[in-house]
Amino acid sequence: MAQKSAASLNPETHLLLDQPLLRLPHEVLRKVFKSSQKYVEQDSKKISDLAREAASKANNGASPDASLAAINTMITRMQGLKRKMETQHEEEKLVHSQLRKRTTHLNDLYSLTSLLDDGYGKWSKVRLDRLLVDYMLRNGYSESAKRLAHEKDIEGLVDINVFLQCWSIEESLRQKSTVECLAWCQDNKNALKKIKSTLEFELRLQQYIELVRSRKLSEAVIYARRHLSGNFDSHKDDFHRASCMLAFPPERPGPYKDLYAESRWDHLVKTFVTTHHNLYNIPQGPLLHVALSAGLSALKTPSCHSTLPSSRSNTASSVTSLCPICSTELNDLAIHVPYGHHTTSWVEHDLVVLPNGRVYGTRRLEDLASKLGLAAGKVKDPVTAEEWDSEEVRKVFIS
């Protein structure tokens, strides 16, 4: 009964980890919509103005050629709008098809009822591949991510483009260039304003600091006037400190050491990434971390980092398979997580203890003895390979 409930699959809660799959495309669609709306607003206003102007001129005796020229200008503008909208529509269609694939993939889980289904294993493999691609993209292993996504045919289930763009901006910041990030801020101006992001101010401040660092003081002042003073009210302290640092060259930074610090660039990278992920409604860290943190703990037992060889789930004999936490891949990593909590013992049936104190299930010892072709009445310890007479084996009771 316990086993039955432990194996039952509840898709509703099981999909918690997967909601970014549907949320990110939603944010991309909203962005597409916002841009389209902006294009239509700008161009329709311009074209309407042109039309009004042309009409009034024509009615006041302008030449037909002038009218035709005005119409041609409007047509060019209109065609421009059409092209921009077509590009947006293409992206929209792409995201729609991604969403379709994703809902289908998530829906597949609803046709399964048990964690022991083969189908669940397959589904979970796809999920792992998704998590791996996500992890690779967030850490800038872009080629690996692209290859894995391509080879496993899950390109519709991962967000390569969004993360590639994010990574390239991160890299430019690490190269101490603010241009790309500022352009991104410009692209997302309204959204950033809505969440009261200070990213753009921080970038501008950094630009200013770099001017001060290279002692281009008058340029720095002009830059501050143009780009920082607008935010005076919300950043009074920063503004004051930024002005005062003019008097302190980088060799003698005095109280402005923090502003001159190289680590400000790392801070900018972090701020950008946090802001970016917030905007796209995606988790700050890779979901692989979340899945592994939980999974390692759930699987880990006190035996996994014990100095004593466990009687079960080792590689010493063919009658057991190795515990994943004890396998080289995860063993060091799992040191850092707590082990699972258990309220009841979980042991083999008909336990016996050998003279060396090691405990095994009777069936397993019999299996091994027959596979090894031991003489009748002999048993062998599967781990230490010591051999005993069956009489030396005694029963042990664990409830």
Partner 1 sequence: MDAIEKELDRLVGKANLSNSLKDIDGCLELLMAARATIEADSSTAGATLSSLETQLKAGFDQTNDSLKEVYTGLNKYGKALDKKFKPVSMSDYDVLSTHQPLINRAIGMHLLREGNFDIAETFIAEADLAATIPPTLESDFRDMYRIKEALRVRDLGPAIEWAANRREQLEARGSNLEFELHRLQYVVYLFGGGEDGPRKALEYSRREFLPFQQKYLTEISKLAGALLWREKMPNSPYAELLNSGAAWSAVADSFTSEFCSLLNLAAESPLYVAATAGAIALPTLLKMTSIMKEKKTEWTSRNELPVEIPLPDRYKFHSIFVCPVSKEQTTDLNPPMMIPCGHVLAKDSLQKLSRSGNRFKCPYCPADSLPKDAREIYL
Instruction: Provide the residue type at 130 as one letter.
Output: R
Q: Which is nearer to partner 1, 157 or 288 (CB)?
A: 288
- Give the integer Cα–Cα distance in Å for 296 and 301: 10
Instruction: Provide, rounded to whole angstroms, the least separation between the CB of residue 297 and partner 1.
Output: 5
Q: Which is nearer to partner 1, 237 or 398 (CB)?
A: 398
Q: Which is nearer to partner 1, 37 or 234 (CB)?
A: 37
Instruction: Provide, rounded to whole angstroms, the least separation between the CB of residue 390 and partner 1.
Output: 17
Q: Which is nearer to partner 1, 110 or 232 (CB)?
A: 110
Burial class (CB in 10 A: 0-12, 13-18, 19+), 45: exposed
Instruction: Provide, rounded to whole angstroms, the least separation between the CB of residue 362 and partner 1.
Output: 14
Instruction: Provide, rounded to whole angstroms, the least separation between the CB of residue 170 and partner 1.
Output: 15
Q: Which is nearer to partner 1, 1 or 251 (CB)?
A: 1
Instruction: Provide, rounded to whole angstroms, the least separation between the CB of residue 380 and partner 1.
Output: 8
CA triple 101-104-110, angle to 5 deg: 155
Tokens of 25: 């495309």
* Residues pairing with 379 in the sheet: 388
Instruction: Provide, rounded to whole angstroms, the least separation between the CB of residue 216 and partner 1.
Output: 38
Q: Are strands 378-380 and 351-353 parallel, antiparallel or unpaired?
A: unpaired
Q: Which is nearer to partner 1, 93 or 193 (CB)?
A: 93
- Give the integer Cα–Cα distance in Å for 220 and 231: 16
Strand, helix or coil for residue 394: strand
CA triple 269-252-250, angle to 5 deg: 35
- 306 sits in the region (left: phi over 0; alpha: psi -120 to 50; else beta) called beta
